[in-house]
Amino acid sequence: MDLKVVLYEKRDGIAIVTMNYPQRLNALSDQLRNDLMMAYEEALNDKEIGAVVLTGTDRAFCAGADISGFKFDTPSIRKFMRGVMHFLAYLEKYPKPVISAVNGLALGGGLEIAISSDIIIASEKARFGVPEAAIGLAPGFAIIRLHQIVGRAKSKELAMTCDQISADEALRIGLINRVVPHEDLMDASMEMAKKIISKAPLAIELIKSSVNRDLHGEELTYAMDAMSGLFKTDDVKEGMDAFLNKRKPVFKGL
């Protein structure tokens, strides 16, 4: 499969899917999102593939959404929210186990991609954060998932302060499963994947579906509707403009 911003490799019964848009820190553009879905579908339809390892190139796993050229009219906002939210929720119901090998920055949508997978193994160089409030938004998918993983108080702290945390801190609060030396990241992730696929595949599928059985229902619709409203505020336009022009935003609560 020849994808411009996603690399796909099949090795030892495992699909290795790599986000390859380093010039934008693997920002979640429409093309990257679409190409990731193509890779997920290829792995799903390949009976020889038992698990997926998802990672990034260079110094980022994924640094969040690509907001350049964003349109603020209502149809565009709703289309964007539907596409992003369904994309992020997709892996939760994906029948095969998915391991995120977080090689660097996992911010905003990047953190959300990671927590939609089943297991997160992080390089010691990884950094995690939900910076959306700094541009007037809220973390659409993380706002309905992060508290289930790290607790309500910690999820509010991360979302409200927009602080980035280290891989060690992410491990301490239960956000990720393991931290390894940077050079060992893919070996550790492949070892985990091989251990999982050596077990009975139907049992693994049932374990995943049972643990995730309560996920993505009405809360997704709520988040999409709420986020669509935020996108129409003056603060979001100000925040995005400030971010793109590398200046400090001036928010007015409008």
pLDDT computed for residue 113 by the predictor: 96
Identity (one letter) of the amino acid at 32? L
Residue 106, both tokens: 């996992």
| 142: in domain | yes
The range of the structural domain enclosing residue 124 comes to: 6-185
Give burial (CB, 10 Å; 0-12/13-18/19+) of 195: exposed
Helix (H) or strand (E) holding 235: helix 234-244
Q: What is the pLDDT of residues 193-236, one digit of tens each?
A: 999 999 999 999 999 999 998 876 677 777 777 777 788 888 98
- Torsions phi, psi of 25, nearest 5? 55, 40
Whether residue 191 lies in the annotated active site: no
Helix (H) or strand (E) holding 99: strand 98-102
| 155: in domain | yes
| 20: in domain | yes
Q: What is the pLDDT of residues 158-202, one digit of tens each?
A: 999 999 999 999 999 999 999 999 999 999 999 999 999 999 999
Query: What is the domain count for the chain?
Result: 1
CATH number at residue 125: 3.90.226.10
- Give the mean model confidence (pLDDT) for residues 39-66: 96
| 225: in domain | no
| 40: in domain | yes
| 13: in domain | yes
| 164: in domain | yes
Q: Which of 41, 42, 112, 219 is catalytic?
A: 112
Helix (H) or strand (E) holding 116: helix 109-116
| 157: in domain | yes
Number of H helices, E strands in the chain: 10, 10
| Residue found by looking up tokens 């509707």 in the block | 225
Whether residue 124 lies in the annotated active site: no
**CA-CA-CA-CA torsion sign (236, 237, 243, 244):** positive
Q: Which of 9, 42, 92, 132 is catalytic?
A: 132
pLDDT computed for residue 69 by the predictor: 67
